[in-house]
Amino acid sequence: DQQVKQNSPSLSVQEGRISILNCDYTNSMFDYFLWYKKYPAEGPTFLISISSIKDKNEDGRFTVFLNKSAKHLSLHIVPSQPGDSAVYFCAASGYSSASKIIFGSGTRLSIRP
Amino acid sequence: DGGITQSPKYLFRKEGQNVTLSCEQNLNHDAMYWYRQDPGQGLRLIYYSQIVNDFQKGDIAEGYSVSREKKESFPLTVTSAQKNPTAFYLCASSPGPGQPQHFGDGTRLSIL
């Protein structure tokens, strides 16, 4: 029973264009969402987060959108750069839960020249 | 330069053997975690600890054991009871519950 789903295992985007990575969740108790980026043979690194009181959070080229009614969030990267090629994990947690963060299965983003 | 150190990077285990994966952090974080990653899957929580001398089972704790005797250290033992131990193991820490986690670079465990 996957509580956090990333239905696209891979995505290819041309350099300079917008990359949109999607994530769906099923647990309405989740109120804090995170995106992590992972390069091969390395641990994930925290990218950006959003709490359920917001519907948008922006940090440079990265913007996360949250649609609570649809239980959907997305990560926009614009413009996409070659160094953005990595696996992106969506994750969710509830402030009331005992510090457990639930991760999605990841989307591999490839930026082509 | 603070961070999380996992060792070794690669580990081989014989059938029936227990092995221990090391995780050390110097970030002064209270909470530490162990995850397992299999191909095509997300990170699955094995064990976590919110404070020294306390830990809880995650979603896939069977065949694993942990200890948290020091704030900086959270070693994971993969026991012979774990029937499918081949995977990439990630250790993480965070300042507190639900806060972004910092990850080590992982240990890849293989069975000989």
Question: Quick check: helix, strand or coil at residue B101?
Answer: coil
In a structure prediction context, what are the per-residue pLDDT tens digits for chain A, which is 113 residues long? 678 999 999 999 999 999 999 999 998 889 899 999 999 888 999 999 999 999 999 999 999 999 999 999 999 999 999 999 999 999 998 865 555 788 999 999 999 99
Cα separation, B25 vs B28, in Å, equals 7
Nearest CB among B42, B45, B90 relative to A106 is that of B42
Percentage above 70 pLDDT, chain B:
98
Tell me the residue ranges of DSSP E strands in A1-85: 4-5, 10-14, 19-25, 32-38, 45-51, 56-59, 62-67, 72-77
Question: Closest-CA residue in chain A for B44?
Answer: A103
Q: Does B38 touch chain A (CB under 8 A)?
A: no
Tell me the residue ranges of DSSP E strands in B26-86: 31-37, 43-51, 54-57, 64-66, 76-78
Lowest mean pLDDT among A108-112, B36-40, B62-66, B95-99: B95-99
Q: Please return the burial class of A78, using the count of CB atoms within 10 Å of its CB with bins 0-12, 13-18 and 19+.
A: middle
Question: Closest-CA residue in chain B for A105?
Answer: B42
Q: Does A25 touch chain B (CB under 8 A)?
A: no
Q: How confident is the model at residue B1 (pLDDT cuts 50, 70, 90)?
A: low
Structural element, H or E, at residue B91:
strand B87-94
Count the Cβ atoms, other than its own, within 10 Å of residue B19.
19
Distance from CA of B79 to the nearest CA of A (A): 23
pLDDT digits (tens, 9 = 90+) for B20-56: 999 999 999 999 999 999 987 789 999 999 999 999 9
Quick one: which of A10, A57, A2, A8 has its CA closest to A30? Answer: A2
Q: Does B103 touch chain A (CB under 8 A)?
A: yes
Quick one: which of B85, B36, B75 has its CA closest to B55? Answer: B75
Name the token pair of B32: 């530490």
